[in-house]
Amino acid sequence: MSEIPKAYEPATVETKWYEAWLQANCFQANPHSPKPPFSVVIPPPNVTGVLHLGHVLNNTMQDALCRRARMLGKEVLWLPGTDHAGIATQTMVERHLSKTQGLGRRDIGREKFLKAVWDWKEKHGNLIIRQLKRLGCSCDWSRERFTMDEDYSRIVLQTFVDFYKKGLIYRGWRMVNWCPASLTALSDEEVIMKACKSFLYTVRYEIVERPGTFLDIATTRPETLPGDTAVAVHPEDPRYGDLICLHVWRPFSRTSIPIIADSHIDKAFGTGVLKVTPAHDKADFEIAQRHKLDVLDVLHPDGTLNCPDVPRLDGLDRFQARKEAVKMLEESGALIKSDPYENNVGYSERADVPIETRLSEQWFLRYPAVQESLDAVREGSIRLFPPRWAKVYEHWMENLQDWCISRQLWWGHRIPAWYNKDGKIHVDLSPPADSENWEQDSDVLDTWFSSWLWPFATMDSATRSKFYPTSVLSTGFDILFFWVARMIMAGYELTGEKPFSNVIIHNLIRDSKGRKMSKTLGNSPDPLQLIDKYGADGLRFGLLRIAPTGQDIRFEEKQIEEGRNFANKLWNAARFRQMQGPSSPFPISLNHSELPDICIAITERFDRLHKRIALAWEEFRFHEIANTLYDFFWTDYCDRFVEAAKPHLQETTSSPREAILQTMDCVLSGILCLLHPLMPHITEELWRLLGFCGSDANFLLLTPLPVENSLPHVSEQEKERAITAIDRLYESIHAVRTLRAEFKIPSNKSVSLWIRPTTDWDSADQMAFKALTRAETLVSVSSAPKESAGTVTPLGEFFISLTGLVNVDSERRRLVNEITKVETEISKVKSKLGSQAFISNAPPAVVAEHRSRETVWEKKLEILRGYLASLG
Could you say which residues in the range 229-268 bind RNA, by CB under 7 A? Answer: 264-268
Binder to RNA among 149, 372, 594, 742 (CB under 7 A)? 742
The b-or-e profile of 613-641 (16+ CB within 10 A means b, else e) is beebbeebbbbbbbbbbbebbbebbbebb
- Choose which of 95, 388, 592, 786 interacts with RNA (CB under 7 A): 388
572: contact with RNA by CB under 7 A: yes
Q: Using CB under 7 A, which of 336, 392, 805, 806 touches RNA?
A: 392
Residues 312-371 that bind RNA (CB under 7 A): 343-344
- Of 518 and 589, the one with the shorter C-beta distance to RNA is 518
* 567/776 Cα distance (integer angstroms): 34
Within residues 190-209, the interface with RNA by CB under 7 A covers 192-193
Minimum CB separation of residue 586 from RNA in Å reads 20
Question: Per CB under 7 A, which of residues 9..68 are in contact with RNA?
Answer: none
Which is closer to RNA, CB of 552 or CB of 718?
Answer: 552
Q: Which of 55, 68, 275, 814 binds RNA (CB under 7 A)?
A: 275
> If binding is defined by CB under 7 A, does position 553 make contact with RNA?
yes
User: Which member of 250, 575, 676, 719 binds RNA (CB under 7 A)?
Assistant: 575
Q: Which of 182, 219, 373, 463 binds RNA (CB under 7 A)?
A: 219
Q: Is there a contact between 68 and 702 (Cβ–Cβ < 8 Å)?
A: no
Looking at the Cβ atoms of 507 and 710, the one nearer to RNA is 507
* Distances in whole angstroms, Cα of residue 250 to Cα of each of 159, 312, 332, 356: 49, 16, 12, 22
Distance of alpha carbon 162 from alpha carbon 156, whole angstroms:
10
Nearest distance, CB of residue 561 and RNA, angstroms:
7
**For residue 101, with 0-12 CB atoms within 10 Å meaning exposed, 13-18 middle and 19 or more buried, which class applies?**
exposed
Tell me whether strands 403-404 and 356-365 are parallel, antiparallel or unpaired: antiparallel
304 contacts 318 by C-beta, under 8 angstroms: yes
Question: In the range 394-413, which residues lie near RNA by CB under 7 A?
Answer: 395-396, 399
State the minimum distance, in angstroms, from the CB of residue 340 to RNA.
Answer: 13
Q: Binding to RNA by residue 846, rule CB under 7 A?
A: yes
Establish how many alpha carbons lie within 13 A of residue 837's alpha carbon, considering only the half-sphere containing its beta carbon: 2
Question: Interface with RNA includes 149 (CB under 7 A)?
Answer: no
Q: State yes or no: residue 835 binds RNA (CB under 7 A).
A: yes
Q: List phi, psi (to 5°) of 554.
A: -95, 120
Q: Which is nearer to RNA, 849 or 862 (CB)?
A: 849
Using CB under 7 A, pick the residue from 245, 425, 521, 741 that binds RNA: 741
Comparison of 724 and 783: residue with beta carbon closer to RNA: 724
Interface residue with RNA among 302, 361, 849, 862 (CB under 7 A) is 849
Which of residues 438 and 576 has its CB atom nearest to RNA in the complex? 576
- Ramachandran bin of 836, using left for φ above 0, alpha for ψ from -120 to 50, beta for the remaining angles: alpha
Peptide bond into 706 cis (omega under 30): no
User: Least Å distance between CB 734 and RNA?
Assistant: 4
Q: Which of residues 298, 459, 567, 822 is near RNA by CB under 7 A? A: 567
553 vs 700, beta carbon nearer RNA: 553
Out of 734, 812, 830, 851, the only residue in the binding site for RNA (CB under 7 A) is 734
Q: Tell me the window of 458-466, 558-566, 668-676, 682-690 that interacts with RNA (CB under 7 A).
A: 558-566
Instruction: Please tell me whether residue 763 adopts helix, strand or coil conformation.
Output: helix
Q: Checking DSSP bridges between strand 75-79 and strand 37-41, what pairing results, if any?
A: parallel
Show contacts with RNA in window 640-669 (CB under 7 A): 642-643, 646
- Residue type for 204, please? R
Minimum distance, C-beta of residue 274 to RNA, in the bound complex (Å)? 4
For residue 838, state whether it binds RNA (rule: CB under 7 A). Answer: yes
Q: Is 616 in the site for RNA (CB under 7 A)?
A: no
Q: Select the span of 92-100, 428-436, 550-558, 656-664 touching RNA (CB under 7 A).
A: 550-558
Q: Mask: binding to RNA, 687-726, rule CB under 7 A, as x and -?
A: ----------------------------------------
Candidates 35, 74, 221, 812: give the one binding RNA (CB under 7 A).
221
Q: Quick check: 458 and 499 in contact, CB under 8 A?
A: no
By CB under 7 A, residue 573 contacts RNA: yes
What totals of helices (H) and strands (E) does the chain contain, helices first?
Answer: 27, 29
- Kindly tell me which residue out of 199, 214, 576, 743 binds RNA, with binding defined by CB under 7 A: 576
| Least separation in angstroms between CB 215 and RNA | 12
For residue 867, count other CB atoms closer than 10 A to its CB.
22
Q: Which one among 744, 782, 808, 872 touches RNA, defined by CB under 7 A?
A: 744
Asked if 583 and 665 touch (Cβ cutoff 8 Å), the reply is yes
Report the distance separating Cα 104 and Cα 116, nearest Å. Answer: 12
Q: CB 428 → RNA: shortest distance, Å?
A: 34
How many angstroms separate the CA atoms of 357 and 224, rounded? 12
The site that binds RNA (CB under 7 A) totals a number of residues, namely: 88
Q: What's the CA gap between 714 and 592, in Å, rounded?
A: 6
Binding to RNA in span 794-833, by CB under 7 A: 825, 828, 832
CB within 8 Å of 209: residues ≥ 6 apart:
246, 247
What is the spatial distance between Cα 537 and Cα 135, in angstroms, rounded to a whole number? 8
Q: CA 754 to CA 802: how far, in whole Å? A: 11
Give the burial string for 555-582 (b: 16+ CB within 10 Å, else e). beeebbebbbbbbbbbbebbbbbbeeee
Q: Which of residues 474-533 bind RNA (CB under 7 A)?
A: 481, 512, 514
Q: State which amino acid sits at residue 299.
A: L
Binding residues for RNA restricted to 774-793, rule: CB under 7 A: 774
- With CB under 7 A as the contact rule, the residue among 12, 529, 652, 748 that binds RNA is 748
Residues between 280 and 309 that touch RNA (CB under 7 A): 281, 283
Dihedral pair phi/psi, residue 650, rounded to 5°: -75, -25
In this structure, which long-range contacts are made by residues 332-337, counting pairs with CB atoms below 8 Å and at least 24 apart in sequence? 332/251, 333/204, 334/203, 334/204, 334/205, 334/251, 335/201, 335/202, 335/203, 335/204, 336/202, 336/203, 336/204, 336/216, 337/201, 337/202
- Whichever of 33 and 835 has its CB closer to RNA, that residue is 835
CB 756 within 8 A of CB 797: yes
| Minimum separation from the CB atom of position 163 to RNA (A) | 23
Q: Which of 26, 207, 842, 863 binds RNA (CB under 7 A)?
A: 842
Q: Give the one residue of 91, 220, 255, 495 binding RNA; rule: CB under 7 A.
A: 220
200 neighbors 219 (Cβ within 8 angstroms): yes
Distance CA 711, CA 603 (A): 7
Among 99, 837, 869, 872, binds RNA (CB under 7 A): 837
Quick check: helix, strand or coil at residue 866? helix
For RNA, give the closer residue by CB, 532 or 825.
Answer: 825
The residue range among 71-79, 155-163, 456-464, 735-743 that interacts with RNA, by the rule CB under 7 A, is: 735-743
- Which one of residues 324, 375, 552, 658 is an interface residue with RNA (CB under 7 A)? 552
Instruction: Give min distance, CB of 204 to RNA, in A.
Output: 15
Q: Which residues in 421-460 contact RNA (CB under 7 A)?
A: none
In this structure, which amino acid lies at residue 642? Answer: V
Closest distance to RNA from the beta carbon of 28 (Å): 34
* 193 vs 462 by CB, closer to RNA: 193
Is the CB of residue 559 less than 8 Å from the CB of residue 543? yes
Beta-carbon contacts of residue 686 (< 8 Å; ≥ 6 apart): 570, 571, 574, 672, 692
Report the residue count for the chain: 872
CB of 678 to RNA, least distance (A): 16
